[in-house]
Amino acid sequence: MSHEPYFLRQTSAALAGFGIANFLSRTSRAEARKLLVYLHVAMKQRAFQGELQASLPSAAVTAVGRLADFERGLRDGTDAVLSLPVLLAARGFSVRLQGRRQGVPHETYSLVGADTPPDPNRVRVVGALDLLGRDGTTAFVHRLVGASPKVERVTKLEDLLPLLQMRRAEAVLIPTRLIADLRSASRLNLVQRGLATPVGLPALAVTGPGGADVMAAVSALPGKLCRMIGVDAWR
C-alpha cells in the first residue's frame, strides 16, 4: 500500500492524464493532413479559414491572401494546395481537382471603373489583386486586358475601392462574379467592361502524401463554401 499522501497521488494522476491528453493532441495535429489555400474571397481571410476548417475537420487548413504567406506555407510543407490554376501552373503543380461552375472550368473577368465603362485600350492604370507577385501579376493583367497599363497591386478585395476613390487607378480588374460585392461596399457608380479571355476557376493540386485524402474532403465541401470560392461542382 502506498504511503504517498492522497492529494499527491491525485495530483500525479491529474498530471499524468494531462500529459497523455497533450501528447495525443500533439500527435493528432502532427498527423492531420495539411491544406494550403490561396484565394481572394469577399470575406476576411481569418473568417474564411474558419469556415473551411469547420467543413474540413480531418485537415489542418491555412488560408492566406498574400503571396509571401503562401510561399511560407509551401516551405512549411503541405499535402494539397487550393488556388487558381494560373498560380498552380506557375509553381509547377498539376491540377488534380478542378472547380466548375455551370458546367465550365473557367470564368470571366471585368474591368470596373467609376461612371464610365473602362476602355481596355485606353486605360493607363489598373488595380488588381496580387496573385503572382509584381511581374507575374502584371503579365496576368496585360494578358486579360490586351494592353500594357501600369498595374497597382493590392492584397484584399476591399483594397481595390480606395484605388478608384483616390484615383490611383482608372479601373480595377476582378472576377465578374465579385462585382456585386464591390458595389455593395461603395457609393461610387461602378460600371464594368467584360473581358474575353477566360480564367480558370479554383483548383486543387496534390503536393504531399496526404493530398488524396484532402482532395476527397474538398470535393465534398458544402454548397455554401463552394459558392464562396466561385464553384458549384468539382471534377
- The pLDDT tens digits for 149-204 are 999 999 999 999 999 999 999 999 999 999 999 999 999 999 999 999 999 999 99
Cα 54 to Cα 32: distance, rounded to the nearest angstrom = 14
Residue 206 falls within a domain, yes or no? yes
**27 falls within a domain:** no
Q: Count CB atoms within 10 A of the CB of residue 212.
A: 14
Q: Is 23 a domain residue? A: no
Q: Helix or strand or coil: residue 158?
A: helix
Determine how β-strand 150-154 pairs with β-strand 125-129: parallel
The residue to which cell 497523455 is assigned: 20
Asked whether residue 13 is assigned to any structural domain, the reply reads no
Please state the rounded mean pLDDT for residues 51-62: 97
State whether 228 and 183 are in the same domain. no
| pLDDT tens track for 177-188 | 999 999 999 999
Q: Assess whether 175 and 117 both reside in one domain.
A: yes
In sequence order, which ranges of 44-178 are alpha helices (DSSP H)? Answer: 45-55, 67-76, 85-90, 133-145, 160-165
Query: Is residue 92 located within the same domain as residue 57?
Result: yes
Is 186 part of any domain?
yes
**Among 100, 138, 111, residue whose Cα is nearest residue 194:** 111
Domain that holds residue 190: 109-197
pLDDT the model gives residue 65: 94
Number of independent structural domains in the chain? 2
Same domain, 44 and 148: no
Three-class SS state of 195: coil
**Same domain for 205 and 192:** no
The answer to whether residues 109 and 175 touch, using CB atoms and an 8 Å cutoff, is: yes
- Per-residue model confidence (pLDDT) at position 19: 47
**Are 80 and 69 members of one domain?**
yes
